[in-house]
Structure 1
Amino acid sequence: MVFNLFPRSKWLREAQELAAQTRQPGPARIFLTGATGFVGGAIAAALADTENFKEMLFLVRAKSAAEGAQRVRQSLARFTPPGVPPPLVLERQVIVADLNDADAFSDPRLDAVSHVIHSAAVTSFADRPDIWRVNVDATMRLAERFSQEPGLRRFVYVGTAMACGVARGAIVTETLRLPLEHAHLVPYTASKARAENQLRERFPELPLVSVRPSIIVGHSSLGCKPSASIFWLLKVVSQLNRFVCPPSAYLDIVPVDYCASTIVALALKPTLAFPVYHISAGQGSSMVGELLQAFQGMEGGAQGKPYERVAEAALKQMALSFGATARETVNTRMLHKALMLYGRFSRLNYIFDQRRILSEGLPPAPSFLDYLGRCHHSAQELPLREQMACDFK
């Protein structure tokens, strides 16, 4: 099977054109957190060919501004095709600080910022002690810093669609108030729910817009080059051909570049109809059975075997069996944990309503099936342990 690895993305052009057509008067001075991460790096890349990029400011953990600029450039390199140099990042664009620093946002350059895009977060599904300090406490300090800035036009908070918790119907709409900790499967989504609730409660004067991406997997043209997060697990499930959800369950998956271009368009659009938006595939989501069939059409699939739905108790033995037959050493304890967590998510069978995004004139997300082959191709040479590290840091 032959795949076009770098197709032109019509929806990406549409999002960029909308942002250009609806940009607020005067230049945008954007402050971005999380530029060295997966989503934040894609946001920086989406802005790289715009007039706003040269005036952007990046919060970077580094020893010096020179090192920080290099880290941002290395992050941008993940989102450029082979042979294409990443854009230049200047030292004057870098604010050297750790998100946890009490004075991380004291730099006077921030006084001139017109737009904040806060994408930095601990996204690991591991139960890390710094999740609450980074995802909640640091977010509150950032919001407090900008809540009294008269020149701030928009504060974009990058949350997660799964902050909705586990007690929702099949079609999830964007409610303002998110459920408390007991309604979540992992601390990460609980922390994002708490942060978003507190932003609205504590800083009502903040020009806040929350964006809640659904499951982010790969890049529509670069596949897993920027990150193999979650894709590796989908591939493992396809090879096992057994899992806890029915084949009719939906997985609401979007590529990171679509997510980033949509965030940029919402950040720069002068007026928005809503305070919260899902960034999702919505009704265009793929069913598990469709994904398995696509995987099985490529190398590594379990062709000819019917899919088997199993109980959660079977996942530990499945992880051990996979590890025993894998061509490399596999952390079966971590694999078992991942199968349990994503199995619980898949059983929710959520579709995140995307009508608000469409009502703003933005294009729908591309189907995961359309770029799954590029993800598969780009991940073939990556050791599984490196791919797993994307989600369990």
Structure 2
Amino acid sequence: MPYTVKDILRIQVAPALGCTEPVAIALGAAAAVSLLSEKQIDDIEIWVDPNIYKNGLAVSIPGTGGLSGLDMASALGAFGGDAGLRLEVLDTVDEAAVSAARQIVDAGRVKVNLLRDQVGLLIRTVVRGCGQVAESVITGLHDNIVSLTLDGEAITDSDLLPISESSDGKSRLADLEAWLKKRSLDQLLELLDDLDDDDLAFLESGIEVNMRLADYGLKHGSGLGVGRTLERLVRQGLIKRDMITAARILASSAADARMSGVKLPAMSSAGSGNHGLTAILPIVAIEEFLAVNHLTVVQAIGLSHIITAYVKAYTGRLSAICGCSVAAGAGAAAGVTYLMGGTKHHIAGAIKNLAEDLAGVICDGAKGGCALKLATAAGTAVQAALFSLQGVNVSFTDGIIGRSPEDTMKNIGTLTTQGMIETDRTILNIMLEKQFSDV
């Protein structure tokens, strides 16, 4: 079926409170608990795919004072989450919920199972309490609850079911991604013509949401303090505040805040809050350097989301490659080029420049250090655009670069889904060895 830009924004872009992997785990638990007649929880057991496991292992959970872990995320969702809030499920968590979650985790009554051979996003949660057994299953999208059961009986009338299924039962995300893969860059650019006032207002809200995170990170030096350190270096005259540095400061400041567990949502893109920060903030950062209408800035962000979704259609939702670098980075590069008046040729060049530069950046889980990667992705996106506008355009004879941006993205998808499977396993094994050596 044909899709519109409104469909892309609705399926791919949403506010998320906290890193989306532990948030998805919390959502699964909250959804299961909502089925129980009484909120008395005896034990919780979850099964997750390797990439959910990898990205939920070490990142701070918002509103907990720095707590982390898949077991803790599930317990917090169970005791304090509101499944109706989807990716903002943890917004209702209070001190009582944190205390209860600590107790059940410390008692060893939350069990996490790693499904090592699972391909694709999967979270299965079973909660037992008051003699009842409730189960939820999330697949495909971080908030796509596809199954709810209570004592073995399927629940079919819940408002939580499901957000991404079409009338024929197929995944809306799978349909959208299949449709996106058939689009050319020309056709993706034409989607911007269909942005209406509601779309523009939604995109503007994404700017506001992500800027709150960036402002917080700059003010408080949260997490690693990458953004605030860059700002300090500018003030000391050790580096210059140009377009590239401005983009790095905004994106990394927001990541500093988000990855340290600050209780502020991010506007996500393609299932990731950090993708959303990368897709939006570099474009916002360069507005002050240009004589442009703000409407064009918002349209450029729309293009960034579209390109990010397009790349993720090839690489998959979660993988061994850092999506902030290759997917949201490509989106930001396209958006920056568009904002600076570049043609389709320039946008294509910027995407290829970005891919040549960052295709090898790995994803080793969600954590405070992601702020460094977002700084790199944001700065490189602006650089890729500036280079393309100055005639620098990587040749298709170079490595994995294709003759077109479409072919380049296909090649990155092949690299991710076929070439880096063992890399992903190795990354996870290294992380697991570190985790168990500390026990």
Output the TM-score relative to the length of structure 1: 0.31
Higher relative contact order (CA 8 A, sep 6+): 1
Q: Which has a greater percent of helix?
A: 2
